[in-house]
Chain A
Amino acid sequence: MTASTAAPLPRTLRRRWRQPSVLPGFGLTFGLSLGWLTLIVLIPLATIFLKSAGMGWDQFVAVGLSPRALAAYRLSFGTAAAAGLVNAVFGLLVAWVLVRYSFPGQRIIGAVVDLPFALPTAVAGIALTTLYSPSGWVGQFLDPLGIKVAFTPIGITIALVFIGLPFVVRSVEPVLADLGHDVEEAAATLGASRLQTFARVIFPAIAPALLTGFALAFARGVGEYGSVIFISGNMPGRTEIAPLLIVTQLEQYNYDGATAIATVMMLVSFAILLALNLVQAAGRRRYGA
């Protein structure tokens, strides 16, 4: 299979690019994967940037940075960050009790954590809206207290907490499980209180995994659509998330506008994820973990 491609390169040169192997099928499998990847993922994604580049700065700014779009970015990135923080705290708590303690129903709880991965987002969206609308199961108790959840940024955050929880739990869990007891014993022997041990010994060890979980939940939250649009109320400038604004532009056949918003969203997301990665790399150097 390796020799079947009609490449003019002599064998020795090709071997320099990939190490020799007795196993067959490299040319076929590598070629198929790269071809399929290019067709399904790379070319379609490139259209976003090509279309943005071809549209001219003024046109790009007119929609991509309009007040309505800026409000949508603020809302999407703000609620995704808030939900990420809630998940960092409670996801760590859930991972902690699942790894460290034993209690009845533990295995079932451990499995249920993955529900947001398996439940279609639209189903989660209508269920959360039913729970938190002013007359809903939970909302009817919050409404008299003056707390409005559905159709406000709080509702959007709740939907994103639902979507993002497993990312944090599943990132932290394995690291917490692999953490040896010996360092904690050493800290206790040296007279550290339990809280000191957690803050100075355990937390630094799990912080990179926690940050990874936060970043994954955040990235997912920024682009999330199905679970949010039902509970958000979709008022332009107030509860209209960026992905919904893209859909609105498309429904008005404003392809340029939709593309401009998508481009800004993707660039900001990539920049934030890159920054989080750099923080993590710096942390790894600092702690040598």
Chain B
Amino acid sequence: MKQSTTESRALQFALIALAMVFLSFFLLLPLVAVFGEALKAGIGPFLDAVDTPDALSAIKLTLLIAAISVPLNLVFGVVASWAITKFQFPGKSLLISLIDLPFSVSPVVSGLIFVLLFGANGWLGPWLAEHDLKIIFAVPGIVLATVFITFPFVARELIPLMMEQGKDEEEAAISLGASGWQTFRHVTLPNIRWGLLYGVLLCNARAMGEFGAVSVVSGHIRGETNTMPLHVEILYNEYDFVGAFAVASLLAGLALVTLVAKTVLEWRFNLHGSARH
């Protein structure tokens, strides 16, 4: 092909170089900084910083929150995708927009709404206090805010995938006498499992890393309602930089694992991630 439909080699090189410089400053350098600062004083202080009761309790809480909210959104995502992609009904695009709504709400506002509902001065606050139930500044509030924030992740991956796959195979299974559950278990699930895994991966990364919404509802009680991202903030604000970056590097490691797994899924199964996360 002649130069008329592409750029000269010199221009190509310049554009690639410019893009690489931009990405190095904005993406690579922050990542390097996290690990660099965490290991600045060597591996000993790094391990000491992670092996404190507060850090360990934050890690446990983060795993617990993800273990509750990811399965909830997994079930919701599958159920909603089934209703949306296997049936024709008016109002479908409105339903899809409503599922997407949490993406366009600030994380801080996502926390605020649960404080307005369940906080001490909230609508249900007096009733909760009467029955000695605690949602805000406790684990249930953190779970609620996380479920809200990660609400669309699984559904967003599954809806386009299941739309594309149609419903012929399921209809064949039903007409051959399979039950609804058998059809889902043996026909639909094998078709969507990689897309499902992809959605769960992204959902989990956000659930473990969410900061703004969780910060509003958690109350920052050390050893009780501190998740890993909140613990990073506390250590950083106390000028314990090695500690902050040590915990942050664990989260960055999770991000890298997520990226690798996501990329492998995209290459092997030709999945396309949506741009909205």
Chain B residues near A126 (CB, 8 Å)?
34, 232, 236, 244-245, 248
Query: A88 within 8 Å of B by Cβ?
Result: no
Interface size on B, residues (CB 8 A): 104
Chain A residues near B180 (CB, 8 Å)?
1, 23-25
Chain B residues near A181 (CB, 8 Å)?
5
**Is B34's CB under 8 angstroms from A123's CB?**
yes
Interface residues in A214-244 by Cβ distance below 8 A to B read: 216, 219, 222-226, 230, 243-244
Q: Which of B27, B28, B180, B233 has the most CB of A within 10 A?
A: B27
**A-B CB contacts (within 8 Å), total count:** 295
**Is B5's CB under 8 angstroms from A170's CB?**
no
Query: B211 within 8 Å of A by Cβ?
Result: yes
Partner of B37, one of A37, A107, A130, A174: A130
Task: Name the residue of chain A whose CB is nearest to the CB of B87.
Answer: A26
Chain A residues near B83 (CB, 8 Å)?
25-26, 29-30, 33
**Is B275's CB under 8 angstroms from A166's CB?**
yes
Query: B89 within 8 Å of A by Cβ?
Result: yes
A254 to chain B, nearest CB (A): 10
Query: B208 within 8 Å of A by Cβ?
Result: yes
**Is B80's CB under 8 angstroms from A123's CB?**
no
Chain A residues near B114 (CB, 8 Å)?
44
CA gap between A219 and B82 in the complex, in Å:
29
Task: Name the residue of chain A whose CB is nearest to the CB of B145.
Answer: A44
Interface stretch of the complex, out of A63-71, A96-104, A279-287: A96-104
**Is A127's CB under 8 angstroms from B30's CB?**
yes
A interface: dominant SS? helix
Query: A138 within 8 Å of B by Cβ?
Result: yes
CA gap between A77 and B4 in the complex, in Å:
41
Chain A residues near B19 (CB, 8 Å)?
90, 93-94, 96-97
**Is B209's CB under 8 angstroms from A165's CB?**
no
Task: Name the residue of chain B whose CB is nearest to the CB of A270.
Answer: B104
CA gap between A174 and B274 in the complex, in Å:
10
Known pairs A113-B23, A117-B277, A127-B33; A223 contacts B106 (CB<8 A) = yes
Interface residues in B211-256 by Cβ distance below 8 A to A read: 211-212, 215-216, 228-230, 232-233, 236, 241, 244-245, 248, 251-252, 254-256
Task: Name the residue of chain A whose CB is nearest to the CB of B99.
Answer: A37
Query: B273 within 8 Å of A by Cβ?
Result: yes
Query: A265 within 8 Å of B by Cβ?
Result: yes
Chain A residues near B127 (CB, 8 Å)?
none
**Is A113's CB under 8 angstroms from B27's CB?**
yes
Query: B64 within 8 Å of A by Cβ?
Result: no
Task: Name the residue of chain A whose CB is nearest to the CB of B208.
Answer: A120
Q: What are 16 A-B pairs with beta-carbon distances under 8 A?
A: A21-B88, A26-B87, A29-B79, A29-B80, A41-B99, A41-B101, A44-B113, A47-B123, A93-B22, A107-B267, A118-B256, A120-B248, A122-B232, A166-B277, A174-B272, A230-B236
New A-B contacts (20) at CB < 8 Å, excluding given A17-B90, A109-B23: A17-B89, A21-B87, A24-B180, A40-B151, A43-B117, A45-B101, A48-B112, A115-B259, A117-B277, A118-B202, A127-B248, A131-B33, A161-B26, A165-B27, A166-B277, A184-B5, A219-B104, A225-B108, A226-B229, A269-B104
